[in-house]
Amino acid sequence: MIFLLFIVPLLVAYYIGHRIFVQRKTFTGTANLYGKTVIVTGGNTGIGKATAAAMAMRGARVILACRSKQRGEEAAQEIKMETGNEGVIFMQLDLASQKSIRSFAETFLKTEPRLDLLINNAALAAPGRTEDGIGMILAVNHIGPFLLTNLLLDRLKKCAPSRVVNVSSCGHDLGTIDFDCINSHKRLALGSSDGDLFKAYTHSKLCNVLFTHELAKRLEGTNVTCYSLHPGSVRSELGRDINEWHTRIIKAIVSKFWATDPVSGAQTTLYCSLQEGIEHLSGRYFSDCQLVQVKPEARDDGIAKKLWDVSEKLCGMA
C-alpha cells in the first residue's frame, strides 16, 4: 500500500508532464510549396533538418543555412534522397559572425529571386564571445537572426504573402532582459557556469519573443507576418557545449524520458509556417500547434522597442 501511495503520484506526474512538455500535436495542413523558397537556419541537424525535410517534401526550394560546410552538404544530400526534391541546397552561414551574415544575405539576394519563408531555427548554449565582441548566446540566438531578418525583409515583402518564424522556447518564461548588462558587456548574463549559460539561454529566448512582437508591428500592412514558438522538449545538439559531468547525466536522463524526436519537435514550426488563417495573429507565440499567452514582459511594447534599438546598435544598423 505504501508503495502504491508513492508510485501512483509519480506516474500521474510523469503522464501530465509528458503531455505538457513532450508530446506534440501533428500538423496536418496540406500546403503545396512548389515555386516557393524557404531558408532554414541550422537546417543540417535536429529540428531544423526535420523542418527542412518537411518543406522539401512539399515541393519547396530549401536553403540550408548552416555553419559547417561538410555537415550542411551532407544534410542537403540526405534530404534530397529522402524527398526526391533536388531543390535543396547548402549555403554557409555563421550566425556568430556579422560578416558571415552579411555575406550570406548578399549572396542569397544575388542568386535567389524569391524568399517566401524565413525560419530562424538555429540556437546554442555556449560560452565565450564572437569576433564582434558579443556574448556567444546573445549573438547567435538573437542578434544574428535579427540582422539576417532585416537584411532579407525587402525580398520577403516583394514575395508577400510571406512569413518569418522564430523558434524560441518555453524557457523564455524564465528569462528577463537586463539592458545594463547588454549595454555594458554585450551579453545577456555574466559568468560561464552551466547555470549562467542556462540563464543567458532563457534570456535569449525571451529576446526571440520580443523581437517577433516588435517585428509584427513594423510589418503591419506589408502582408509579411511573423510568429515565435516553443517546439517542445526535443532531443537535439543544443546542449553540446554544456560539459560538466552532472549536467551530462541529467541530459542523458532527460533525453531518454522527457524529450521527443526532432520530427515531432518540428510540428509547431510547420504550423506557424504553413497554417492558413493565422495572419491576424502575427507577432504572437505558439506551442503544440496552438496560440499561447505569454507573460507581460514578453509582450511589453516598451521593452520590445528598446530591445530593437539596442539590437540595431549591436549589429551596426543604427
Active site (annotated) includes residue 14: no
- Residue 15: inside a domain: no
Asked if the peptide bond before residue 161 counts as cis, ω within 30 degrees of 0, the response is yes
For residue 69, give the CATH number of its domain: 3.40.50.720
What residue type is assigned to position 229 of the chain?
Answer: L
- Kind and range of the H or E element at 98? helix 98-111
Identify the pLDDT of residue 233.
78
Identify the pLDDT of residue 10.
55
* Domains held by the chain: number: 1
Question: With 0-12 CB in 10 A as exposed, 13-18 as middle and 19+ as buried, what is 241?
Answer: middle
Catalytic entry in 14, 15, 34, 201:
201
- Residue 79: inside a domain: yes
Residue ranges, the chain, pLDDT below 50: 237, 239, 245-246, 249-257
- Residue 56: inside a domain: yes
- Residue 243: inside a domain: yes
Identify the pLDDT of residue 107.
98
Identify the pLDDT of residue 21.
53
- Residue 22: inside a domain: no
Model pTM score: 0.89
33, 60 contact by CB (below 8 A): yes
Identify the pLDDT of residue 52.
98
Parent domain of 107: 29-314
Identify the pLDDT of residue 6.
55
